[in-house]
Amino acid sequence: MTNYEDLFKKVIAHCKEYGFVFQSSEIYDGLSASYDYGPNGIELKNNIKDYWWKSMVNINENIVGLDAAIFMHPNTWKASGHVDAFNDPLIDNKDSKKRYRADTLIESYISKIEAKIEKDCLKAAKRFGEEFDRNKFVSTNKRVLARQIEINDLNEKIQTHISSNNLSAIKSLIEDLDIKCPVSGTSNWTDVRQFNLMFKTQIGAAKSSDLYLRPETAQGIFVNFLNVQKTSRMKIPFGVAQVGKAFRNEIIARQFIFRMREFEQMEMQFFVRPGEEMKWYEYWKNTRMKWHKSLKMGNENYRFHDHENLAHYANAASDIEFKFQFGFKELEGIHSRTEFDLKSHQKYSGKKMLYFDQEINKSYTPYVVETSIGLDRMFLAILTNSLCEEEIGNGEMRTVLKIPPLLSPIKAAILPLTKKDGMPEKARKIMKELQIDFNCHYEEKDSIGKRYRRQDAIGTPFCVTIDHQSLEDDTVTIRDRDTMVQKRVSAINIRSIITEKVNFSKYLS
Ligand code: GAP
């Protein structure tokens, strides 16, 4: 097993052991690519949503929220282009009968070349020691340069073939690269064909037209554009934000909660004057990158990936990629969607989707810049980045989840040192005072060391211990998760110590 697979398995096992994520319907052997969030998982998820909502809606006067229904009129999906074009190219191996996304087979081939470049770098770093300059090495080493040219060439080919819907060229590329099925080991492939990713269903008992589970939350915002603009008296530029479930019948859903068939998106559509979209596109690219970096999960773990080949609705698009254990992958997309969606809804519904701009005395269809982040992917990014094992002296190890404290499921654990002498009563009193402001956890079972370990593994930033001295002078010890340093403080100061670490303004400024 490769190192990253090992680490990733640890994350999955940790999620289950500590009540973050469970396999859906586990007692029936599970349902592939569906997951349930446990007691700690839902707290973390809610905290991510809150942080996003505060930074997008609450601190921006010109952004408001919406919660649109998952079911929408079927014409919505004709107008948006999803009925005709929301497809993935799939291919089957005739021997193993396994199905793959044709483009991801080629992407995996590219990842292998990328891994070779990493190996070259590691070897060179060993050879040159402190003198090693990675940037210089990758831009001058002949072997690395040749590998990079091959990667660029393949990326260009995939994009061209996909955007021109040239399915036979995709198959030829797979054959030319001699890509084999990982299960059967053969290259006995079927032709490539398109597969629509929307889930279909029907409303009521009578047979009526097909209904779809929404594959993105964005369309709920577009169809409500004028409702929101008029009722909230918004002036362009303004945004509408929404958090909600989306559904895609992914051909291969894997890598735990990275690619699921039911997932949650946090999207914001920003409506601007035509011609000003590129300015706002750059603004939102930078603003969203700053948001990610505000969580201090390592600036080197993020990068932009600007798209060269664009979706039918976009005139610019970029992904914010995060370095997961399986490589840099898309975490959020920023798209300049032009006026495509509003114009198309106007055409299909027959209703005007125009905005009258008083400043310039003109009506127009606004252009849209979208930010779209997957909540589950953000959850996974946080988990994989935070989980570590460290030595804490005497050969003892601890597992600790160094989650940004603002997002930790539990902010403080309240722990009476023993179950007697009035310590539990005192601890419960402190718990009562704190739990209105913070999610706290009371625990009196097990040794104090074991209780600390459990809270470390959940990512609780503070453990407050009530001991004999607490009963005499109203002090407690407060232990910091990351440094493990314990300080004795007056009980009345606990609230301000926790607030100092977990308040929004600390992150948002
Ligand atoms: N409205 C634009 C849109 O939906 P997208 O790039 O298809 O754009 C946006 O999706 C984000 O949603 C992605 O960056 C990713 O974080 C998340 N996402 C997409 N498909 C997903 C899936 N199958 N499972 C989990 N998250 C997914």
pLDDT average, residue stretch 304-324: 90
Q: Is 267 in the pocket of ligand 1 (CB under 6 A)?
A: yes
Cα 226 to ligand 1 centre (Å): 25
Q: What is the 3-state secondary structure (H, E, C) of 73-126?
A: CCHHHHHCCHHHHCEEEEEEECCCCCEEEHHHHHHHHHHHHHHHHHHHHHHHHH
Greatest mean pLDDT among 3-12, 90-99, 250-259: 90-99
Cα three-residue angle 148-151-156, rounded to 5 degrees? 125
Residue 118 has pLDDT above 60, yes or no: yes
Chain segment 82-97, per-residue pLDDT in tens: 999 899 899 999 999 9
Q: Is 426 in the pocket of ligand 1 (CB under 6 A)?
A: no
pLDDT at 313: 87
Atom 19 of ligand 1, nearest CA residue: 374
pLDDT at 6: 84
- Of all atoms in ligand 1, which is nearest to the CA of residue 218? 1
**Three-state secondary-structure class, residue 56:** helix
Q: Is 331 in the pocket of ligand 1 (CB under 6 A)?
A: yes
Average confidence score pLDDT of the chain: 94
Chain segment 266-295, per-residue pLDDT in tens: 999 999 999 999 999 999 999 999 999 999
Atom 4 of ligand 1, nearest CA residue: 216
Atom 18 of ligand 1, nearest CA residue: 374
Atom 16 of ligand 1, nearest CA residue: 374
Measured CA to CA in angstroms, residue 64 lies from 211, 269, 271, 352, 381 at distances of: 28, 10, 12, 22, 27
Backbone φ and ψ for 506, nearest 5 degrees, come out as: -60, -35
Answer positive or negative: Cα dihedral of 100, 103, 104, 105. Answer: positive
pTM above the 0.75 mark? yes
- Of all atoms in ligand 1, which is nearest to the CA of residue 250? 23
- Of all atoms in ligand 1, which is nearest to the CA of residue 333? 14
For 107-132, give one letter per residue: b (16+ CB within 10 A) or e: eebbeeeeeebeebbeebeeeeeeee
What distance in Å separates the CA atoms of residue 383 and residue 44, rounded to the nearest whole number? Answer: 10
- Of all atoms in ligand 1, which is nearest to the CA of residue 335? 2
Query: Which two tokens mark 420?
Result: 């007697």
Chain segment 211-231, per-residue pLDDT in tens: 999 999 999 999 999 999 999
pLDDT average, residue stretch 480-489: 96
Q: Is 345 in the pocket of ligand 1 (CB under 6 A)?
A: no
Query: Which two tokens mark 258?
Result: 């990275």
β-pairing verdict for 462-466 and 412-416: parallel
Measured CA to CA in angstroms, residue 69 lies from 48, 72, 83, 245, 290 at distances of: 22, 7, 19, 10, 31
Cα 265 to ligand 1 centre (Å): 7
Cα 98 to ligand 1 centre (Å): 24
Residue 123 has pLDDT above 80, yes or no: yes
Residue of 111, 272, 90 lying closest to 196 (CA atoms): 90
